[in-house]
């Protein structure tokens, strides 16, 4: 489960191509007469991640289908099935090119955490900072006094904000056990804190909550990661399924893109480099569920989810598109 941070590894290729196949299958005890679904399965594209190919196949074929963006700018697909059906399969296949984002990270040169917190406080007639939306509690990330107490020792006065976040990431990795099926989607964060065990979704929520309790902004990230990391090392935890981690807003930090968001994976105690594929960002899991829906009929249902990630090999830096969107 232990993973050394991938920041600064010299063996990393300039660009890594990754194939991801994500299959979701439902079986219903009785026919479903009508269903509406929302999918967050299309990987994002920006200055550090390019989407070379994406297909989303739905069986049975939807009567209506549309693509667009949600309130956070994530790509999403909506579809409706109007014919009776006793099963549903959604297959998303992607080929993504990724390049490192944080190779020059210098945590000690990030601003003090109190200074970042001050920038997120509302002042009449002051400048509005969009990141403040991610400093507030959310349905899956409530305010928890015991979690604030647990995190307090990392928030020494004047300490650089990136150093604080990296220490909290490592403490979650050390203090909490990764235990498959130890929680459900709706398991309260208070219970995860008490039992000291969970999965990647829980650890992302824990880290986001600890940072938000101190007045900092933290985004939940959904995506995928390679089972065997680029550059060697032990297998990562949370692969072969959807993965989740956190982004901390720490502006004016060397090695962090201009938008100020630094990725942190508490499940694997690492700053992502070439092993992670980003799909969507939100306040918590509820904003970026890979596939959700409302159905009429169906009775009991059985769900199966399978994710396969495969390294396709490094690509030359010259192959990277010249005109890339700003980093998210």
Q: Report the alpha-carbon distance of residue 274 to residue 313 in Å, rounded.
A: 11
Q: Report the alpha-carbon distance of residue 271 to residue 91 in Å, rounded.
A: 29
Q: Say how many Å lie between the first and final Cα of the chain, rounded.
A: 28
69-107 residue pLDDT tens: 999 999 999 999 999 999 999 999 999 999 999 989 999
DSSP percent split of the chain into helix, strand, coil, nearest 5: 20, 35, 40
| Domains recognised in the chain with CATH numbers | 17-98+288-315 (2.60.40.2250), 107-287 (3.10.620.30)
Torsions phi, psi for 117 (to 5 deg): -60, -40
Q: How many helices (H) and strands (E) does the chain have?
A: 5, 13
pLDDT of 5 reads 38
Q: Report the alpha-carbon distance of residue 52 to residue 29 in Å, rounded.
A: 38
Question: ∠ at Cα 318 (316, 321), nearest 5°?
Answer: 115
Q: Report the alpha-carbon distance of residue 323 to residue 258 in Å, rounded.
A: 16
Q: Report the alpha-carbon distance of residue 148 to residue 144 in Å, rounded.
A: 6
Percentage of the chain lying above the pLDDT 90 cut:
77
Kindly tell me if the per-residue pLDDT of 269 is higher than 50.
yes
131-181 residue pLDDT tens: 999 999 999 999 999 999 999 999 999 999 999 999 999 999 999 999 988
What is the pLDDT of the chain when averaged over all its residues?
Answer: 89
Percentage of the chain lying above the pLDDT 70 cut:
88
Which has the closest alpha carbon to 26: 301, 321, 327? 301
37-80 residue pLDDT tens: 999 999 999 999 999 999 999 999 999 999 999 999 999 999 99
Before 60, cis peptide (omega within 30)?
yes
Q: Report the alpha-carbon distance of residue 24 to residue 239 in Å, rounded.
A: 16
Q: Which residue has the higher pLDDT, 245 or 6?
A: 245
Region 286-307: mean pLDDT is 93
**Are the C-beta atoms of 89 and 59 separated by less than 8 Å?**
yes
**Are the C-beta atoms of 216 and 264 separated by less than 8 Å?**
no
């Amino acid at each position: 489960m232990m993973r050394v941070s991938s920041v600064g590894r010299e063996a990393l290729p300039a660009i890594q191509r990754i194939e991801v196949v994500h299959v979701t299958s439902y079986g219903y005890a009785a026919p479903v007469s009508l269903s509406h679904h929302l999918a967050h399965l299309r990987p994002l594209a920006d200055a550090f991640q390019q989407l070379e190919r994406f297909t989303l196949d739905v069986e049975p074929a939807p009567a209506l289908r549309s693509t667009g963006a949600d309130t956070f700018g994530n790509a999403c697909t909506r579809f409706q099935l109007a014919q009776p059906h006793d099963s549903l399969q959604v297959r998303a296949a992607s080929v993504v090119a990724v390049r490192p984002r944080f190779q020059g990270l210098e945590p000690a040169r990030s601003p003090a955490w109190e200074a970042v917190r001050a920038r997120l406080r509302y002042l009449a007639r002051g400048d509005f900072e969009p990141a403040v939306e991610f400093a507030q509690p959310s349905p899956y990330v409530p305010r928890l006094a015991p979690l604030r107490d647990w995190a307090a020792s990392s928030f020494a006065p004047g300490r650089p904000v990136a150093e604080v976040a990296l220490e909290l990431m490592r403490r979650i990795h050390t203090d909490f056990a990764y235990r498959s099926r130890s929680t459900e989607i709706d398991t309260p964060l208070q219970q995860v804190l008490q039992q000291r065990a969970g999965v990647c979704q829980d650890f992302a929520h824990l880290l986001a909550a600890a940072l938000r309790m101190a007045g900092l902004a933290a985004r939940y990230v959904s995506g995928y990661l390679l089972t065997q990391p680029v550059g060697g090392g032990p297998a990562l935890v949370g692969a072969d399924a959807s993965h989740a981690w956190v982004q901390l807003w720490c502006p004016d930090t060397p090695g962090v893109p201009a938008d100020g968001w630094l990725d942190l994976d508490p499940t694997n105690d690492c700053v992502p480099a070439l092993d992670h594929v980003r799909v969507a960002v939100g306040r918590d899991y509820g904003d970026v569920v890979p596939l959700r829906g409302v159905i009429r009929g169906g009775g009991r249902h059985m769900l199966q989810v399978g994710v396969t990630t495969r390294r396709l090999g490094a690509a030359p830096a010259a192959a990277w598109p010249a005109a890339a969107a700003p980093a998210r």
